[in-house]
Amino acid sequence: METISGLGKLDRERLAALIQRTKGTISVGEAAEILKVSPTDSAKMLARWRKTGWVSRVHRGIYVPVPLESPTADGPLEDPWIIAERLFAPCYIGGWSAAEYWGLTEQIFRTIVVMTRQKPRDRSPNIKGTNFLLRTILERAMFGLKPVWRGQVKVSVSDPTRTVLDMLNDPKLGGGIRSTVDVFVSYLKSEKKDTKLLIEYAKQLDNGAVFKRLGFLAERFAPEETYVIQECQSRMTKGNAKIDHDLPADKLVTKWRLWVPNSWVTVEPK
């Protein structure tokens, strides 16, 4: 455990300048530019401050200031969303993390879902005790996003409609299809509901499996949503999909060309 020790006057002034002129994180390059020193010197400086507990390294060449009230430098991230924006941009917060933000689920998820244009080797990194789940997306899929401010940092999060759509596209992002259904039903009952936008987003994403899952779930859990059901029916693609690739699916619902668990065929609408 790293304990925090004292800083000299010059170091205090330099660190204060960096905190004032950066936004939550400090890179070696930023430190060199702000303090008018070489990258080598800034790297050594940050490494020294890390050793004395005034900054904490979250990634190679990226540091965060340690809060004054923290007794050690080993504490958890103050705001994982800021770290996600710094490390994985261009990106947005999605899946169950966005559902929590919009109040569409009461479940507590300890992993942060990040949809990124990057192609990271490690798609489940742990950064100072915080787990991240990374999903690579195409540039054309960067739509339906809302900017939110986390301190001085602007972070993108999927809007409620896009959040639901991402879960229908990949139920893992909702914690599985059962949790995804809960979010979907919550969305339909909320003031955030916008079924026309949901269909428009689905068309823009252009994945036939999304229409199959959406149509089936709407008919099963929200049969009054006739617009959604009819739009999904009119966009049926060839081939069969699974309701959730992580669930055994032994019954084909031919109307929706969708494999589902046998128990789902007789489940009563909510």
Q: What pLDDT was estimated at residue 8?
A: 80
CA distances from 25 to 20, 174, 220 (A): 11, 29, 47
pLDDT one-digit tens code per residue, 178-203:
999 999 999 999 999 999 999 999 99
- Which tens digit of pLDDT belongs to each residue from 210-239? 999 999 999 999 999 999 999 999 999 999
pLDDT for 269 equals 45
At 165 the pLDDT is: 97
* Cα distance between residue 23 and residue 197, in whole Å: 34
Query: Looking at residue 1, what is its pLDDT?
Result: 47
Q: How far apart are CA 7 and CA 141, in angstroms?
A: 47
Q: Given this model, what pLDDT does residue 34 score?
A: 93
Instruction: Report, as ranges of residue numbers, the positions in the chain whose pLDDT lies below 50.
Output: 1-3, 267-270
pLDDT at 74: 62
206, 123, 87, 1 alpha-carbon torsion, rounded to 10°:
150
Full set of structural domains in the chain with CATH? 9-65 (1.10.10.10), 80-265 (no CATH)
In order, the DSSP letters of 228-268 are HHHHHHTTPPSS-EES-TTS---EEETTTTEEE-HHHHSPP
Distance CA 4, CA 66 (A): 9
